[in-house]
Amino acid sequence: MSFLLILFISCFFCLGKATDCGGNNVTQTIIVGKQEDAAFSTIQEAIDSVENDNDKWIKIHIQAGLYIERVTIPKEKPCIILEGEGSSTTTISYSDHISMNHSATFTSLPSNVIASGITFKNSYNVVTKRYKYYPVGSEIEPANAARLHGDKYFFYNCSFLGYQDTLYDQYGRHYFKDCYIEGEVDFIYGSGQSYYENCRINVLGRFSDSAGFVTAQGRSSSDDPDGFVFEGGFLGGNGKVNLGRAWQPYSRVIFHKTYFSSIVTPHGWSAWHYAGNESGITYVEVDCGGPGADTSNRVSWMKKLNTSEIEQFSLASFINKDGWVDNLPIESS
C-alpha cells in the first residue's frame, strides 16, 4: 500500500510556493524491510545511503513490522520522506532515557522532512497498567519518542508513544495532521512553531493523586514566532491533566475547536516557575467542546483573543506564509 500526504488545503491559503527539494516530485524510493524487494533491513542504513546535501525528495518506504533501533536523520541529509504502511503496523521503538538531546527513538535535524503511517515509541517508561504508586525519582525519566529540530516538517497519520517528554517539538515549523500522541508529563514540549490538526491526544494517567501536563511550550521572548496551535482534535484518557505549563516566560499554546473530555482540571493551566509573572504567557481556548471545556474556573490570566487575533494562528498565517505546505509531495493512491 503506497500513500502520502493527502492535503485538503484550498487555494485561498496558497501564499506562495516554496522551491525546497526541487518541487514536489519524489526522485527515488528506497525500500526497508524483510521482504525480497527491500534494499535495507534497518531504517538507519537507508538514511545513511542518502547523499549529503541532497536537494531532491527521496522516499524511504518502510514495510510493516517492528524496528527496534534508534533512528537519526543528520543535518546534512534534508529532503527525506519516511513512509510506513500504517501507524498500526509500522513501528520504530527504542528504550532510552540518558538525556534530553540523546535519548530519542527518532531524531531529525535537517530541514524538509516528511513522515507518514509510522509509530515512534520510546518504551522506557511505557507500561500496560495503572499504578497507585510509582517512584518517580528512580523509575520515570524524560524519554523522547521523537526529537524534531529542523524547519518544514510534516507528519501525517503518525503516532508518538511515551510517558514523560514523549514528543520533543524542539525547533522549527512543524505540521501534524491526524496524529496520535500519548503521555502524561509534559509530553508535547519544546520551542517549535507547530500546528496540530485533528490530532488525538491520550493521557495515560498513572497517578490518582496528581495531574499531568499535556504541553510545556518553551517560547522565551515576545519576539519569538514559536508556539503550539491545536486545531480540532480530541483530548482524553485517564486521570486528570492540565493543558499546559510554562517552560519559558512567553510560553504560547492555543486550543481551537478541540474536544476536551472530563480529565481536564478546572484551572487548566500552570505558570510553573513564572507564577506572579504571567503577563507574557499566552494560553488560549476558543470554541472548544466537551465536559472538560468549561472555562469558568480557569486561571484568571488565561488570554482571550478576538476573531482577527485568532486568524493569526490559522495554518496559513502561523506556519505557511511562504507556502511550503502547499508544495509538499502528494500521492493520492
* Phi-psi sector, 285: left (phi>0), alpha (psi -120 to 50), beta: beta
- Rounded CA separation 243/260 (Å): 10
Pick left, alpha or beta for residue 134 (phi over 0 → left; psi -120 to 50 → alpha; otherwise beta).
Answer: beta
> What is the CA angle 124-128-134, rounded to 5?
65
Q: How many residues does the chain have?
A: 333
The values of phi and psi at residue 49, to 5°, are -75, -15
> Is 326 part of the annotated catalytic residue set?
no
Query: Which residue reads 503496523 in cell numbers?
Result: 89
From the list 165, 169, 178, 326, the catalytic residue is 165
Is 174 buried (19+), middle (13-18) or exposed (0-12) by CB count in 10 A?
buried
First-last CA distance in the chain: 8
Choose the catalytic residue: 151, 169, 186, 326: 186
Residues paired with 241 in a beta bridge: 212, 264
**Continuous H helices in the chain:** 43-48, 136-139, 307-311, 315-318
- Distance of alpha carbon 38 from alpha carbon 303, whole angstroms: 52
User: For residue 136, which phi and psi values (nearest 5 degrees)?
Assistant: -60, -45
Alpha-carbon distance of 142 to 261, in angstroms, equals 26
Q: How far is CA 324 from the centre of its chain?
A: 18
Contacts with 251 (C-beta within 8 Å, 6 or more apart), sequence order: 216, 217, 218, 219, 244, 245, 274, 281, 282, 283
Asked if 322 is an active-site residue, the reply is: no
Contact between residue 269 and residue 245 where contact means Cβ atoms under 8 Å apart: yes
Q: What are the catalytic residues? A: 165, 186
